Structure 1
Amino acid sequence: MAFDNFLERLIPDEGVRNMVKSFFSPEDESGSGKAGGPARAVEQLKSGGLEEHTKSWVGTGPNKQLTEEELRGAIDQADLKRISQRAGMSEQEVIVALVSFLPEVVDKATPNGSMKDLRNMSSDTSSGRSPGMS
């Protein structure tokens, strides 16, 4: 399943949807070579201190809620700045939207409780973007 189509069904607001998509699979304009798409984004959150959160979102039980402070501590600040600039939103607005949507997006993208579901998702090629997480 294409991740772009999945997000379109889940998040009705186009601006918020594009911002969330950018978080999960942004274009890497820096040339740093970081890649991986939705699964890589979840792995980065996990290694950023949100292991219990991400386990609950991927698993089949209740989702552990995320606070703005927890997300700020787990997300790369350069990524946050780039995403906010691209979305035309303040960094605070990006954080608020991500706190609202991350648990649900990951939960719904992993209905079988497995990261394999996320690894099988790819970005739409029609947008001219390739999957990746910077």
Structure 2
Amino acid sequence: MGLLDIVGGLLGGQAGGNSQNALLSAALEFINNQPGGLNGLIEKFKAGGAGDIIGSWVGTGENQPISADTLQNVLGSDAIGALASKFGVDPAQASGILAQVLPHVVNHATPNGEVPADGQVDTSNVLGTLTQLAGLFGGNKPA
């Protein structure tokens, strides 16, 4: 199952490709809008006791999963609530979606384990990479 399929499934299969790309875009926007961008998000995870989790996303090894509850504790109810209202879903659903999407976004935003110096994620590059990977692993492209 591809990343975009996961996101679609989390939304009850209601989301089409544009909605799924909008969710990925929102995750990227969320990162870039953090004070300090990705660096600020990393610090927030460290302060929330989840530094090892985000460290796995940034590093070159396997990504550790994060639960929706842990993510909500790290990011705060206000941040999750804002994302939920933007997409018309409840906060629990938003944190579940973000818990599935954020590891992939951070992973692809930090090639070779390198965080962009300014902390800002290149949204078009990351979206393109994630969309290509979702197509390959989701079986949407011929072998």
TM-score, normalisation: structure 1 = 0.66
Q: CA RMSD in A?
A: 2.5
1:14 pairs with 2:21: yes
Identity %: 24
Counterpart in the other structure of 1:97:
97
Quote how far apart the aligned CAs of 1:120 are.
Answer: 5.1
User: Which letter maps to 2:77?
Assistant: Q
Quote how far apart the aligned CAs of 1:64 are.
Answer: 0.8
Query: Whose helix proportion is higher, 1 or 2?
Result: 2
1:25 pairs with 2:17: no
CA 1:91–1:121: 2 relative to 1, 3 Å: same
Contact map agreement 2:57 2:64 (CA 8 A) in 1 = yes
5+ unaligned residues in a row in structure 1: which ranges? 1-10, 27-33, 125-134
Instruction: Say which SS state the counterpart of residue 119 (structure 1) adopts.
Output: coil
TM-score, normalisation: structure 2 = 0.62
Measure, in 2, the Cα distance between the counterparts of 1:120 and 1:47.
20
Matches within 5 A, 1:21-60: 21-26=28-33, 35-60=35-60
Counterpart in the other structure of 2:110:
110
Rg bigger for which structure? 2
Cα deviations across residues 16-52 of structure 1 (Å, max 9, x unaligned)? 12431342234xxxxxxx7322332232122212111
Instruction: Say which SS state the counterpart of residue 116 (structure 1) adopts.
Output: coil
5+ unaligned residues in a row in structure 2: which ranges? 1-6, 8-16, 125-143
How many residues align? The count is 107
Measure, in 2, the Cα distance between the counterparts of 1:101 and 1:93.
12
Matches within 5 A, 1:60-75: 60-75=60-75
Contact map agreement 1:80 1:91 (CA 8 A) in 2 = yes
Counterpart in the other structure of 1:132:
none
Quote how far apart the aligned CAs of 1:123 are.
Answer: 6.6
